[in-house]
Amino acid sequence: MAERDYNVAIRIDPLYIKAYISRGIFYYEQKKYNLAIRDWKKATSLGSKENLQPWIQKALREK
């Protein structure tokens, strides 16, 4: 359910940084590390003010 909500939010507004961050957390909790990293990198490329690098590094170690 949560994943679908994030997907809808991103479809409506592809520049919605918070949706990418939140979906990345959802994917991380589901152990879908590659998808989490992809979303966090997308959020970073869109100009996220959040420092997502520690999350990305943690996910890379978990893979």
Q: Is the pTM of this model over 0.85?
A: yes
User: So what's the pLDDT on residue 1?
Assistant: 86
Mean pLDDT of 26-35: 98
59 pLDDT above the threshold of 90: yes
Residue whose entry in the numeric block shows the structure tokens 């966090």: 40
Q: How many helices and strands in the chain, by DSSP H and E?
A: 4, 0
- The domain in which residue 22 lies consists of 2-62
* pLDDT averaged over every residue in the chain: 97
The number of distinct structural domains making up the chain is 1
Residues 49 and 47: their CA atoms lie apart, in Å, by: 6
Question: Span 28-54, mean pLDDT?
Answer: 97
CATH code where residue 52 lies: 1.25.40.10
Share of the chain above pLDDT 70, in %: 100
Cα gap 50→8, rounded to integer Å = 22
Token couple for 62: 């978990």
